[in-house]
């Protein structure tokens, strides 16, 4: 084999590798653009859903909206998969009878999902099972949603998603409720729904 033939083969191999990388990136982009849902810690989600009498798809949808299953600390100090603020976690620890809470606990997925699930259950009880209101309060806070509900009630109507005053919360609620349906359809087995 001549030097020219070896260079040609090497160039051909490099072009083939580059093409494979480009195609792989394009496929990954298409899957991401198509809205493939991430899911991790499914056993933790199933466990907490059962313990807190929650729809596991709702927990997964909140995690998806909060962090896309990539735990981090927000600029506001919220931590972990479900973005629990330390003050909220301390409140929940006291409410649930816990006494040994430390902020670093929120970095552990099982602890974080337990606190986030407990908070979702608390909000659902507060809003008599209304998932839309509970999800809105998870994002905007209980005081804001209580105020919106009271105003709507005083005007003789119910608060709807489209009437949520905060555009960020309105979009968040829509995203979570849609993702909940998608998680039910896509991950029914993994979430223990069938």
Q: Looking at the annotation, which residues are catalytic?
A: 66
DSSP at 53:
T
CA distance 161 to 78: 24
CA distance 97 to 87: 15
Radius of gyration of the chain measured on its C-alpha atoms: 22
Q: In terms of Cα–Cα distance, which of 127, 79, 128 is closest to 107?
A: 79
Contact 80, 187 (CB under 8 A): no
Q: Which residues of 39-48 are buried (b: 16+ CB within 10 A; e: fewer)?
A: bebeebbbbb
């Amino acid at each position: 084999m001549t030097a020219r033939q070896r260079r040609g083969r090497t160039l051909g191999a490099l072009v083939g590798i580059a093409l494979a990388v480009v195609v792989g990136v394009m496929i990954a982009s298409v899957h991401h653009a198509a809205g493939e849902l991430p899911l991790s810690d499914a056993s933790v989600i199933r466990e907490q859903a059962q313990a807190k009498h929650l729809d596991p798809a709702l927990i997964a949808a909140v995690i998806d909206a909060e962090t896309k299953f990539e735990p981090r600390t927000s600029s506001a100090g919220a931590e972990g998969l479900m973005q629990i603020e330390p003050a909220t976690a301390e409140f929940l620890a006291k409410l649930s009878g816990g006494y040994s809470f430390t902020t670093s606990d929120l970095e552990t997925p099982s602890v974080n999902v337990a606190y986030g699930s407990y908070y979702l259950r608390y909000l659902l009880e507060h809003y008599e099972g209304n998932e839309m209101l509970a999800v809105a309060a998870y994002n905007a806070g209980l005081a804001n949603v209580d105020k919106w509900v009271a105003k709507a009630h005083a005007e003789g109507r119910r608060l709807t998603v489209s009437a949520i005053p905060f555009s960020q919360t309105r979009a968040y609620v829509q995203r979570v409720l849609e993702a909940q349906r998608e998680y039910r359809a896509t991950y029914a087995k993994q979430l223990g729904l069938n």
